[in-house]
Amino acid sequence: MDLKSISLPVPNAIFFITGSDTKDVPKIERGSSIWFTSACIAVGCTPDVDGDTRIAIGWSEQLDIADKPAFDGELETPNQVVSVDVVPGKKVLEQYVPSTSTRIRIWVNHPVEPDNVTIGLG
């Protein structure tokens, strides 16, 4: 799989990474820019009024990123698909994965309002 990416204004400055058609979104609280449950990861990003956010997704071993990820965890993927939604149900990126649980790593270029987010799978 090649790296897939998209640049767009993200409504409400939060997008979601899911592995199923879940309604189990994490509670968004101050003091962080990444929130998660076992079925959904919410990522804070640049407000849409301030411009586009580039979101990229690819296999971790294909990414050439030396920095420590802002997030490293497991996502339930019972449908063997990882989706990126700008609002729940509005998919902008999707990648098929080989198992029902997938390691997700996320790198950001800013700790609070990144405009460049890379999602590593596996």
Contact indicator for 5, 57 with CB cutoff of 8 Å: yes
Q: What local confidence, expressed as pLDDT, does residue 2 receive?
A: 80
C-alpha Rg value of the chain to the nearest Å: 13
pLDDT band of residue 103 (cuts 50, 70, 90) is: very high
pLDDT at residue 86 tops 80: yes
Report the CATH number at residue 79: 2.60.34.30
Could you give the 3-state DSSP secondary structure of residue 11?
helix
Q: What is the mean pLDDT of the chain?
A: 93
Number of domains present in the structure of the chain: 1
Which residues constitute the domain of residue 35? 4-121
pLDDT at residue 15 tops 90: yes
pLDDT band of residue 1 (cuts 50, 70, 90) is: low
> Which candidate, 57, 13, 21, places its Cα nearest to that of 40?
21
pLDDT digits (tens, 9 = 90+) for 43-64: 999 999 999 999 999 998 888 8
Q: What local confidence, expressed as pLDDT, does residue 64 receive?
A: 80
For the residues of 18-53, what is the DSSP string, one character each? ESSS---PPPP-TT-SEEE-SSEEEEE---GGG--E
